[in-house]
Amino acid sequence: MELIVALIPLLPFAGFVITLLLGKWVLGKRADVIPVLMATASWVLSMYVFVRVVADPEYVFDWNAFTWISSGALETTWGFYIDPLAAIMLLVVGTIGMVVHYYSIGYMKGDEGYYRFFAYLNLFMFAMFILVMANNYLLMFLAWEGVGLCSYLLIGFWFRKKSASQAGKKAFLVNRVGDFGFMLGMLLMFLTFGSLQFTEVFADVGAAGPAALLGICLLLFTGAVGKSAQFPLHVWLPDAMEGPTPVSALIHAATMVNAGVYMVARSYPLYIDSHTAMYVVMGVGTFTAIYAALIALTQNDIKRVIAYSTVSSLGFMFMALGSGAWVAGIFYLLTHGFFKGLLFLGSGAVIHAMSGQQDMRFMGGLRRKLPITYWTMMVGALAMVGIFPFAGFWAKDEIIGFEFTHHLYYIWVVGLITAFITGIYMFRLMFMTFHGQNRSSPGVQEHIHESRPIMTVPLIILAIPAALAGVLAGWPPESGWIHRFLHPVFFDIESEPFGIVAFILLLVSLVIGAAGITVAWYLYLQRPELPGRLAARFPRAYGASLNKFYMDEIYEAAVIRPVIGFAGWLWTFVDTRVIDGAVNGLAWLWGRFGRLLRPLQTGRAQSYALGILVGVVVLIVVFRIVEG
């Protein structure tokens, strides 16, 4: 088991090193072989681990491979911890990682950075595997930064494009804000518990004061807010869509952005003892869910719509975790990984077919020309909206139902509204892309074609779990397999039997989702002129949504401008006046002093001789006095 666990991250790392070193000159067009093989092997191994844990959910694997840092009381190891939660993450990361590797062979074909792309993908797999298997916070943080680095590298993959390199920087900087919170959280945790190992910290939760616990939880959550793109640090994720689409699917939908959710779920023993922290998690998640959904409603870039739906879904997960529906939150993470990865890969196929066009206003009518993409994306969209019996239905309705049965009615209402909006924007995307008439130029229309099997097969593979994962893991609702499976992790949660109330709630959210789809159908297929009229009728609301509630502008005014202004002040005042002033002033002082002494240097030998004589006389007199 040790060897397998060690190999899961090490294989992609080896693939990364080999591909990066040899890719450009030796491997060339075959640079994909090693990384894809490594990803496949890692998938096989992680599936083995998953099955091993499924066979015995009480099984806990805790292995310290070697000591990493030993400094005073701090003892940190490269250690791995496998329990049902880590196993679920391994399933998501391994499967989607492998599928995306295969898909990339087709999508990135002919790109000049082909080898670089695969090397980075493998590096990402390495970091992500470490992240989900780490047995202490510090190693987790290392991997956390590692996936952040890969995210930066891959967002800015086409670095010659200004907007792409800018988006990479933005993602990195915004994430740093969150990571700083994570670091402070670890510091406080170490001060409180004297350890960063999961098992030691969690065993000792009772010893911490409520204030320290709240501080730790909130600081850790700051890290999660950055990584999982929650309000107000969500601004980087939509811009991250500048990266190649497989990256959006892998990193910015299915795996890395889940790291924050995973970390909060991993810290379950801490959060469960700090209800204030859980309220904060719930509040931020709920707000983000509806906020991002409202923005997704008016975006025209197909990837941006899906990106905002990702932000909204992550909000849903935090809403679930914060309100106490831990299992449902992780269940949603699992299903969301599959159907959101599927939606992104599908959108990649659409963009490919449209010769790089991402604006949905120039799409339409692709249904007949891209049948596989259409039907697989339809599965993904139905799963996203939460329509029976697709994956999202089971998880999402469990979350929304939980809010009602636990008397969190406001959250329940917001959740329902979000589900309704999700139906509208998701099917707005489907209808604008695949239905109606094609609105692109004739030159582009000629080239519209279904992608090669290397891209469509991954879509079909992902469509299977997107359709079935929910019913397999979630039946019967509220006490399905996943509840039993995760019970050792979320030990305090009692699953409840599925009653009549739950059934009605389930019907309500199903109807709400279907209503959203109907509205989208009415607006975008029946009366296509209506959305424009609505936008004209409510220009304020439309503008706010289209411009993402001016969040970037607010940051510009509240953070970027003051920082630049402060930097300018440092330059024009502190640097040129104070520092240069001090240096120049000192030089000026010595100059003045020198000018004062200058007359002594007459250049006449006789005056020097007089000086010598006077000196001798003075010396003689002095010696006379001293000697007596």
Partner 1 sequence: MNAVEWYFVLAALLFCIGAYGVLARRNLIIVVMSLELMLNAVNLALVAVANFVPAAAGRGTLFVLFVITIAAAEVTVGLAIIIANYRNRRTVQADEYHDMKG
Contact between 615 and partner 1 by CB under 8 A: the answer reads no
Of 600 and 626, CB closest to partner 1: 600
DSSP SS3 for 453: helix
Of 71 and 606, CB closest to partner 1: 606
Q: Which of 327, 325, 315 is nearest to 285 (CA)?
A: 315
Which amino acid, one-letter code, is at 583?
Answer: V
Q: What is the DSSP string of 36-75?
A: HHHHHHHHHHHHHHHHHHHH-TT--EEEEEEEEEEETTEE
Say which residues have a Cβ less than 8 Å from residue 583's Cβ, sequence separation at least 6.
none
Of 3 and 605, CB closest to partner 1: 605
Smallest distance from the beta carbon of 561 to partner 1, in angstroms? 54
Of 526 and 601, CB closest to partner 1: 601
Of 579 and 617, CB closest to partner 1: 617
Give the C-alpha separation, 12 to 8, whole Å: 8
Smallest distance from the beta carbon of 600 to partner 1, in angstroms? 7
The first and second tokens of residue 277, run together, are: 């922290």
Give the C-alpha separation, 129 to 81, whole Å: 11
Contact between 624 and partner 1 by CB under 8 A: the answer reads no
Residues 386, 467 contacting (CB under 8 angstroms) = no
Smallest distance from the beta carbon of 606 to partner 1, in angstroms? 6
Neighbours of 577 (CB within 10 A): 11
Total of chain residues touching partner 1, rule CB under 8 A: 12
Q: Which residues pair with 96 in a beta bridge?
A: none
Of 21 and 614, CB closest to partner 1: 614
The first and second tokens of residue 22, run together, are: 């040899």
DSSP SS3 for 70: strand
Smallest distance from the beta carbon of 593 to partner 1, in angstroms? 13
Smallest distance from the beta carbon of 610 to partner 1, in angstroms? 5
Neighbours of 56 (CB within 10 A): 10
Neighbours of 177 (CB within 10 A): 16
Binding flags for partner 1, 591-610, as an x/- string (CB under 8 A): -------xxxxxxxxx--xx
For the four alpha carbons of 349, 353, 358 and 364, in that order, the dihedral sign comes to: negative
Smallest distance from the beta carbon of 587 to partner 1, in angstroms? 19
Q: Which residues pair with 63 in a beta bridge?
A: 80
Smallest distance from the beta carbon of 607 to partner 1, in angstroms? 9
Of 3 and 596, CB closest to partner 1: 596
Of 160 and 598, CB closest to partner 1: 598
Smallest distance from the beta carbon of 619 to partner 1, in angstroms? 15
Point out which residues bind partner 1 (CB under 8 A): 598-606, 609-610, 613
